[in-house]
Structure 1
Amino acid sequence: MLACGAAAAQSSPAGYRVVGYANGWNPVQTKDAGKIDTLIFAFAHPQGGKVTLADRDVKPLQQLIALKKINPKLKVDISVGGWSVGGFSEAASTVAGRQLFADSAAELVAAQHADGLDVDWEYPGHHESGIQSSPQDEANYTLLLKAIRTSLDRVGAAHGRTGANHYTLSVAIADGPFVDHVDIAAINPYLDWFNLMTYDFVNAMTPTTGHHTGLHASKLIAGDGRTTDRAVQQFLAAGVAPNKLLIGAAIYGREFADVKPDHNGLYQAFGHYQGGHNWPELKSDYINKQGYVRHWDADAQAPYLWNAKTHCFISYDDPQSIAAKMAYIKAQHLGGIMYWEQTLDPSDELIDDMWRGLQDR
């Protein structure tokens, strides 16, 4: 375990931030706690209109908060929502509903001694994940975030959390068609930063394989297909300051089966989605093993695996694509990197690559 001074000295590399979602903590990772600026616990949930934390989740959250003894500069936020989690549209639809949601969220942050709230509504105006949506979600999303900001400030003031130490508010947010019911410019003033979910660009619901967390557009990508750079440019065009944007990295890959073999399976139709693999599993069982051959797309700045025998395709992030993302963050003067999810990389290899890549050279 690192001494407090050693851990604290490593954090906040060159003004950029390393932010990770975490649904738990592996003690072997404590050696690298000083390389992380913010951990976002996933998840609290809307229940009966209130933001609540299940009893079973209190201990994992407090394990994250306890890491402040190792890295006093570490911030720990609570994320509410996640894929297929509803209740947002309903809560946001009325003044009373927004107030209840906002007040309960702020009170939860204070009660758990956390540092802020992250809102992960996937997605306003959309119901692909099976949640309720409404044409009014766009306006109500803005009003909900405004109410949360007000409640966080009020409760924060009562707990001495003001100025630079105020309770923060962020959002986990997608891009392209998934923000067509979000007024980015309108929500911007209420947020400390945006966690851009620049992963899962291809998944079980997309028509083809592809780079699920690619930085730039592949030559094979169709039309306005999603990429990290296109997401960033979309938010910059809406008036968001570059330093409020954190792009996403994936500590996991996505595998597709029965893939059409053209172009080694890249951006091809597939028979079915096979599942996900975390980074250690990719290294031990897949990358250049069992017929899975690693390829590098220089245009997209992204790796992929193709198994010519089984017609299986895997998209993922690795040290080379992480390095490209870190260089992009510095070139675009962004706020830093965000990743999903802490426990998927027990060795902290990719997280260490993120931290080292953001150092001034």
Structure 2
Amino acid sequence: MRRLPTLLCATLCIGLFAAAATAATPYRIIGYITHRDPAQDQDIGKINTLIFATTRIVDGRVSLDPAGAARLQKVIALKANHPQLKVEISVGGWTVGGFSEAASTPASRRIFADSAAQLVADQHADGLDVDWEYPGHHESGIHSSPHDRANFTLLLKAIRTSLDRVGAAHGRTGANHYTLSIAAADGPFVSGIDIHAVARYLDWFNLMTYDFVNAMTPTTGHHTGLYASKYAPADARTTRRAVRQFLAAGVPPRKLVIGVAFYGREFADVNPLHHGLYQPYGHFAGTHAWPQLLTDYINKNGYVRYWDARAKAPWLWNAKTHSFISYDDPRSIAAKAAFVKARHLGGIMYWEQSLDPSDTLLDAIWHDLH
């Protein structure tokens, strides 16, 4: 038998091990993705599901324009070399409206559901992710209705029915059925969802356990913290509290996938008490992708890294400029992975693939869940 060169053999063995370990782990690793970066292809074997963001609602139908379809097909093409990979199509997102109207009647729900299922089949995808932000709420500038809570359950039921019907026609049944997930917030933002009722139609929940503090909140804080800081107000949102809220509503732990942020949030003109943690601020200064945090901020240019041992979360404080940044890093990811394992949850998802081009944070998720 001809022997492979040592380096090639080692590379193949590592790749096969990663694929096998990913398949064997009981935890999902799910990433939202807006476009394919070939430089990241070598780590695709560490991901269970990529969720392509995002489609919109046009005249009550789930719609994908030609440019979006072309981007999606580049993501779908990854399955050729990674047959274990699943690709869902996401519909919605912050400021994306049309959901309340689409969910309002049996006829409109059927139109939405049938168009979604047909899009999944036509694009050779594996399922649908519904990102309605948020039923019963209009903070993002979309229409809402007092009937959204009941109608959302009916909409998901209709989607599940359509996915099963179209899936059966394409041989997608049983363990290979078209999947259905939702992106869900916690705290007051989930008041428009009957969590227990919708759980029966979903394969899992993508808990958006990030953006807890943002341009609309009165103070700084851990925007993706695992636990509550000792400086946090009593009603502060945390990953643990989000999970407890969904578990209390009767969701099986394995259907809960918690979120990791591949970006940081910066606040300016911050009160300096406690190095800016949970303090009033002058204005929101924007978001920074993980590579930018490494290059320009973490222990650089006056920004000092601090670690909140109670919240299991890092933050940056610039004493000269009174600037504060909250973010996730490998250490906070390790804490989240341990939390997932201890509570037998479904896994970890993240926003968003392109924000971690070196796959540093993805590697941390994969390592810590294995």
Measured against the shorter chain, the TM-score band is over 0.9
Hey, what's the Cα distance between the residues in 2 that align with 1:318 and 1:5?
Answer: 27
What is the CA-CA distance between 1:7 and the residue it aligns to?
5.7
| Residue type at the aligned position of 2:87 | V
Q: State, as a whole percentage, how many aligned pairs show the same letter.
A: 69
Match of 2:83 among 72, 83, 107: 72
Hey, what's the Cα distance between the residues in 2 that align with 1:60 and 1:342?
Answer: 14
Match of 2:306 among 286, 295, 312: 295
| TM-score in terms of structure 1 length | 0.98
- State the match for 1:116 in structure 2: 127
**Cα deviation 1:225-249 (Å, max 9, x = unaligned):** 1000000000000110101100000
| Residue type at the aligned position of 1:152 | L
What is the CA-CA distance between 1:8 and the residue it aligns to?
3.0
Hey, what's the Cα distance between the residues in 1 that align with 2:92 and 2:111?
Answer: 16
Match of 2:230 among 216, 219, 226: 219
Match of 1:56 among 26, 42, 67: 67
Hey, what's the Cα distance between the residues in 2 that align with 1:321 and 1:69?
Answer: 33
What is the CA-CA distance between 1:224 and the residue it aligns to?
1.7
What is the CA-CA distance between 1:14 and the residue it aligns to?
2.0
Match of 2:25 among 14, 39, 48: 14
| Residue type at the aligned position of 1:46 | I
- State the match for 2:173 in structure 1: 162
- State the match for 1:99 in structure 2: 110
Q: Does 1:281 find its partner at 2:258? A: no
Hey, what's the Cα distance between the residues in 1 that align with 2:50 and 2:22?
Answer: 13
Match of 1:209 among 212, 220, 224: 220
Match of 1:327 among 338, 350, 363: 338
**Cα deviation 1:170-206 (Å, max 9, x = unaligned):** 0000000000111100101000000000000000000
- State the match for 1:268 in structure 2: 279
Q: Which runs of 4+ in 1 moved over 4 A?
A: 1-7
- State the match for 2:318 in structure 1: 307
Q: Does 1:129 find its partner at 2:129? A: no
1:143-182 pair list within 5 angstroms:
143-182=154-193
Hey, what's the Cα distance between the residues in 2 that align with 1:94 and 1:289?
Answer: 55
Q: Does 1:46 find its partner at 2:41? A: no
Hey, what's the Cα distance between the residues in 2 that align with 1:184 and 1:7?
Answer: 35
Contact 1:152–1:167 (CA under 8 A) maintained in structure 2: yes
Give 3-state SS (helix, strand or coil) of 1:12's partner: helix
Contact 1:11–1:36 (CA under 8 A) maintained in structure 2: yes
Hey, what's the Cα distance between the residues in 1 that align with 2:24 and 2:261?
Answer: 20
Hey, what's the Cα distance between the residues in 2 that align with 1:43 and 1:197?
Answer: 16
Hey, what's the Cα distance between the residues in 2 that align with 1:6 and 1:229?
Answer: 32
Hey, what's the Cα distance between the residues in 1 that align with 2:362 and 2:92?
Answer: 24
Contact 1:195–1:245 (CA under 8 A) maintained in structure 2: yes
What is the CA-CA distance between 1:9 and the residue it aligns to?
2.4
Hey, what's the Cα distance between the residues in 2 that align with 1:269 and 1:354?
Answer: 32
Contact 1:34–1:70 (CA under 8 A) maintained in structure 2: no
What is the CA-CA distance between 1:120 and the residue it aligns to?
0.1
Hey, what's the Cα distance between the residues in 2 that align with 1:9 and 1:94?
Answer: 45
Hey, what's the Cα distance between the residues in 2 that align with 1:12 and 1:353?
Answer: 17
- State the match for 1:241 in structure 2: 252
Hey, what's the Cα distance between the residues in 1 that align with 2:20 and 2:67?
Answer: 33
Hey, what's the Cα distance between the residues in 2 that align with 1:162 and 1:273?
Answer: 47
Give 3-state SS (helix, strand or coil) of 2:250's partner: coil
Contact 1:50–1:100 (CA under 8 A) maintained in structure 2: yes
Q: Does 1:29 find its partner at 2:52? A: no
- State the match for 2:359 in structure 1: 348
Moved more, 308-317 or 215-224: 215-224
What is the CA-CA distance between 1:10 and the residue it aligns to?
4.2
Consecutive unaligned residues in structure 1, runs of 5 or more: none
Q: How many residues align?
A: 359
- State the match for 1:258 in structure 2: 269
- State the match for 2:98 in structure 1: 87
What is the CA-CA distance between 1:212 and the residue it aligns to?
0.2
Contact 1:242–1:335 (CA under 8 A) maintained in structure 2: yes
What is the CA-CA distance between 1:354 and the residue it aligns to?
0.1
Consecutive unaligned residues in structure 2, runs of 5 or more: 1-7
Hey, what's the Cα distance between the residues in 2 that align with 1:341 and 1:59?
Answer: 19
What is the CA-CA distance between 1:53 and the residue it aligns to?
0.6
What is the CA-CA distance between 1:223 and the residue it aligns to?
1.4
Give 3-state SS (helix, strand or coil) of 2:293's partner: helix
Give 3-state SS (helix, strand or coil) of 1:15's partner: coil
